[in-house]
Amino acid sequence: MTLSALQASAYLHHLHLCSPVPQRLAEWYSKAMDMQSESLPGDLWLTTGPARQVLFSSGDAKKLGHAGFAVRDAESLKGLRERAEEMGISPQSIETPLFQPGAFEVTDPDGNGIFFGLAKSQPVKITKAIRGPIQHLTLATRDVQAIEDFYAGKLGFGVSDRVVNEHGKIMTCFMRGNHEHHNLACFYQDRQGVDHHSYEAGEWDTIRDWSDHFASQNIQLFWGPGRHGPGNNLFIFIEDPDGNWIEVSAELEVVHDRPVKIWPHQERTLNLWGRGVLRARE
């Protein structure tokens, strides 16, 4: 029986980011995002905290190594793989240190590798880390419609909201693999790769704690605090040494069943409280 990503309850489990200096970036994430770093075989670096894991390897900045989505159980993984095969997107078996055997990879129209698997138990040594499970990935793409067609149309992510410009062009699509408003999104830009990734603080007070933590590391917020229109979540943003944007978010909308919302492509959509950072003016 084939299953959609939504039926399999897919959630963002980890990211693999490329960097010209991966060790430096891993060490920065260890301090900035309250995690521990370690080297792995194959010139990989791993940073780990409670419900958040990021891998780093050599490559161009802002390029995605892969995104790892975990699903509910073995039956869900089997059903999602059967759907990928039925849709002709050629799932390939892969091995990764963060998933159990049986994981598979698909490649989206921009060449991004997306892994699906069953999460391994996570031995976390940090006991007092700030709450912040890794929650969503947002891609930069030249073709939002193609990305939506792949993830929603073929893999079965649900579409929550779209941002559309005055000419009817889709500029942003927010998609979900479970009840969260989005754990995958894409923004129209004149490039391909990572736009940003986000960690879920849970509540407003924890965003305060993260802001105090960033201040202790001499890391300035470059956007926020604010509130997004799509998802209605509170947010702050910082930037890592490679220029990757990192969001800490709270109180994201829970979606069970509702029509797709359409938002205008304007600053207020991105931030109901103040300035918005538009990725493209087209």
Domains of the chain: 11-117 (3.10.180.10), 134-270 (3.10.180.10)
Q: What is the pLDDT of residue 281?
A: 64
14 band by pLDDT with thresholds 50, 70 and 90:
very high
Q: What's the pTM value of the predicted model, to 2 decimals? A: 0.96
Buried b (16+ CB within 10 A) or exposed e, 9-23: bbbbbbbbbbbeebe
| Per-residue pLDDT tens digits for 173-195 | 999 999 999 999 999 999 999 99
Cβ-count burial of 48 within 10 angstroms (0-12 exposed, 13-18 middle, 19+ buried)? buried
Q: Residue 217's pLDDT is what?
A: 97
Apex 80 CA angle, 77 and 83, nearest 5: 150
Q: For 64-87, how does the pLDDT look when each residue is reduced to its tens digit (9 = 90+)?
A: 999 999 999 999 999 999 999 999
pLDDT (average), residues 34-42: 93
> How many CB atoms within 10 Å of residue 222?
11
pLDDT reported for residue 121: 80
